[in-house]
Structure 1
């Protein structure tokens, strides 16, 4: 009898799935069952620390059961999509595990997303509910929810952690636990967001089978134990923070997750000292801030960071020069992580030579991670040469959610995912990230799709054409520069910036620099030559610095 999956999901071919089960990668465990098992093994161990609140595994398990009952009372049921946009608070886990228990499907949004992104996620996923904080970082998410509710007819419920005003208060939903059918481990458990090089992010379907394998293997590679204490400094919904090994890896190991609302040394260093944090994860710009703070005496002089054993850095390339500073300045080991929400994750290992740790982005988790480095014609390049990274394996998706046309381009006929990364591979299997082939800016780990921002700018009456490109930046790795051909009067830069903000896009997508030009350089086939534009702005920055 054929299996029924969430519509829009591309499952692994059955023979491939059988092989992954036989190899022990896919065990049939669900997220709800994983939490239940930990709560039974060590009910009184701390699972989450969030400000002054400390939840044990028993409490997290009970809260998840009670919220699942409350969600069901609202009418949320199996396979309903629920957009979850919460900051780094303990409620994120109670909400997610409650939805997992129901078999409902969280769609993980980031706190930085605004009306354009959230309306799209809710509409495209046909979400029935939207879970938010009341406010965070000076931004009122309830006002955002009012805008989104007016635009998305499927949205029946807005659920608020905090002061709910006219919406449903999350705290009002805790109810007497019920028993719900166990979700299937091979069907979609949640939807993540792609980095996206074309327009708004694609939705990435993840199953308990594939994701829990990645989590288990990551926890093993990173040496997690029940004594591990993880500082959640990056946004909790980010794939890196969730699963590499992240918060879910630490919960799988029976350790403790400490929530930081901000990743600045002012907030993070006191938490490391107070909670005896053993590991955390940062993107390169934040790692540089931590290193400077510690080197200046901000960290080492004012706070005891001696419990920190491991700093993971990922999300963008970490330069060798900065990587070499981690051990002497912070006194902990460095682990480079290169991965993607679509699947493949690479780690440097604890027993790797120091040179590999500081100069590569690691090697794949699994012996069954298939990696190819190819040229523009999909032919394998010679060992050590730079090419396009293709991959497939037991935790790399076979297709984006409801994206059949895009999937035909993003995946090969035999199931390899085109990552869009340019890499070289060493004989040891370690990858060195050389750049991106996709039209995308990696702004300190935040991915900006050029054509999405271009389309917003083209809506301005005084913009005739626009090309968004990356420009080099010592802090973020890349920032964005918009080359604009004006129509009529040349608009002011601040006018365009305000225009983009009013259109409701995330702040990190707003161009860092705007250059007005009369025309664009073109390729031989008449396309905008963005390579020339990138070189032009890089040279301008270089000249200005000398």
Structure 2
């Protein structure tokens, strides 16, 4: 087991194995079995490329041999930052075969996040595309490699520039190591947490494959299923709920899209006869508008999953009449717990709730600020534990003591209530985090970057309501004099390598912050202030038009 990774106590591990949750299968074995069972059936479609299960399995073997020749060993960490391309699957399954650990970065991450990930995990390699969406990842890699002494290799899918070419890594299969145990950590995922430094989530082969199996069953996937991936596949939602890995588990077909634009997605749905796909609420609204006015044949689509943030009931009601398919609400977290509305749930449950836990072994508690259980139907802090919910973050002993109870329940940071039918209704976040259309922005991280500017005395970042994204970010700044402009602050954050979605949408300059009775900044009052300003301006705008 990787050092620094808390795990399940033996009594729980024994219970989950006895119940058949953990079946002792690794990801390398999973792909090998699917290749044997499905052979020439298409596993992945990307543009004109069509890759069979047998071909994917063989390419993973050859790449694993190449990685081994490069010196990558079991338990070595490798940061993987690839878009929705077939190489993503080759790379992660090659690393799974070796017992090396992918560390999943997102395409939008930049110098700040990538340098931290490589340093914190002591990564030995970093896998990137050459240029994607106009951004040259090789320039980013050059900066990161200078800063991180453990980072020996940068491997590029495409034109390698000064680095190693992924296409030249593949070599004839040599004697690979025996491979990991199913109880070993398979990979590290990035948490969307609310603290300044991202936390890493250790997922084992056993627990994650269990989540794939149950997700595939609930979503009724089989060999005929065709999953369209429009969200970045390194996100937990499109990776496993059931996502691309759940589709491969079921023997179905994964179709990769580079974006969620209806211009790209709708023709793919028609051409590939897509049966299921997943979007975040802002993208769902774009699709609903587009579907109402376009003539693409979307009749193959059976299920539209919406997750990553709460989906408004009014919009949820529009999915079936507009798209002609079943809406499935998905509420979960990379740390574990996933809730689904079931495909045969009544419309009122699908529209008004975020589903119920997918496993009978998921345990849920809703508690007040003093950890006392709330009355049925009341809003409380959501706590959970189960066979695929982690028992602690990687190398985060102090944080784990706060985030996990003594008996192993994970404090999700969500506020929710439970309906009489056992479905969850999510009411908001207790943690200081902004959910910007499914992208989680940790206020503390952005504040720390703002405070590095010489013209900033203090900063407080809060959520402000937005009809499209649900929430956007507003930075309240107490400036030094002369004060910087909002444009200067945003440019400063970009120069520091902060991902675009974390740069504040709005900057408000103030002389002081409202304070709580105990002398802390009242972010509640700041949120109310900006919400009132926006509401007032909307009202004035409407009056001006009337």
> Which position in structure 2 is the counterpart of 1:239?
236
Name structure 2 gaps, 5 residues minimum.
540-546
Aligned residues: 538
Name structure 1 gaps, 5 residues minimum.
none
Secondary structure of the structure 1 residue equivalent to 2:185: coil
Per-residue deviation, 1:177: 1.3
Per-residue deviation, 1:180: 2.4
Per-residue deviation, 1:8: 0.7
> Which position in structure 2 is the counterpart of 1:295?
292
> Which position in structure 1 is the counterpart of 2:308?
315
**d(CA) in 2 for partners of 1:206 and 1:42?**
27
Question: Is residue 367 of structure 1 aligned with residue 360 of structure 2?
Answer: yes
After TM superposition, the runs of 4+ consecutive aligned structure 1 residues lying more than 3 A away are none
> Which position in structure 1 is the counterpart of 2:432?
439
Question: Is residue 187 of structure 1 aligned with residue 180 of structure 2?
Answer: no
> Which position in structure 1 is the counterpart of 2:10?
14
Question: Is residue 61 of structure 1 aligned with residue 57 of structure 2?
Answer: yes
Question: Is residue 474 of structure 1 aligned with residue 467 of structure 2?
Answer: yes
Q: What CA deviation, in whole Å up to 9, does each residue of 1:221-243 have, x standing for no partner? A: 00001000000000010000110
Per-residue deviation, 1:200: 2.5
Partner of residue 273 from structure 1, selected from 263, 267, 270? 270
Question: Is residue 89 of structure 1 aligned with residue 85 of structure 2?
Answer: yes
Secondary structure of the structure 1 residue equivalent to 2:406: coil
Secondary structure of the structure 2 residue equivalent to 1:504: coil
**d(CA) in 1 for partners of 2:78 and 2:10?**
28
Aligned ranges 1:41-120 → 2 under 5 Å: 41-120=37-116
Partner of residue 412 from structure 2, selected from 394, 419, 422? 419
> Which position in structure 2 is the counterpart of 1:393?
386
Question: Is residue 127 of structure 1 aligned with residue 120 of structure 2?
Answer: no
> Which position in structure 2 is the counterpart of 1:217?
214
Per-residue deviation, 1:91: 0.3
Question: Is residue 200 of structure 1 aligned with residue 197 of structure 2?
Answer: yes
> Which position in structure 1 is the counterpart of 2:27?
31
> Which position in structure 1 is the counterpart of 2:139?
143
**d(CA) in 2 for partners of 1:461 and 1:383?**
51
Q: What CA deviation, in whole Å up to 9, does each residue of 1:163-194 have, x standing for no partner? A: 00110000001111133212111111100010
Secondary structure of the structure 1 residue equivalent to 2:526: helix
**d(CA) in 1 for partners of 2:184 and 2:199?**
18
Question: Is residue 171 of structure 1 aligned with residue 167 of structure 2?
Answer: yes
> Which position in structure 2 is the counterpart of 1:327?
320
**d(CA) in 1 for partners of 2:344 and 2:291?**
26
Secondary structure of the structure 2 residue equivalent to 1:532: helix
Question: Is residue 342 of structure 1 aligned with residue 335 of structure 2?
Answer: yes
Partner of residue 160 from structure 1, selected from 140, 156, 163? 156
Per-residue deviation, 1:473: 0.4
**d(CA) in 2 for partners of 1:445 and 1:310?**
19
**d(CA) in 1 for partners of 2:328 and 2:490?**
37
**d(CA) in 1 for partners of 2:299 and 2:154?**
43
Question: Is residue 487 of structure 1 aligned with residue 480 of structure 2?
Answer: yes
Q: What CA deviation, in whole Å up to 9, does each residue of 1:26-79 have, x standing for no partner? A: 000000100000100010000000111100000000000000000001000100
Per-residue deviation, 1:321: 0.2
**d(CA) in 2 for partners of 1:170 and 1:81?**
17
**d(CA) in 1 for partners of 2:532 and 2:179?**
58
**d(CA) in 2 for partners of 1:71 and 1:51?**
27
Secondary structure of the structure 2 residue equivalent to 1:189: strand
Question: Is residue 543 of structure 1 aligned with residue 539 of structure 2?
Answer: no
Q: What CA deviation, in whole Å up to 9, does each residue of 1:426-474 have, x standing for no partner? A: 1211000000000000000000000100000001111000100000001
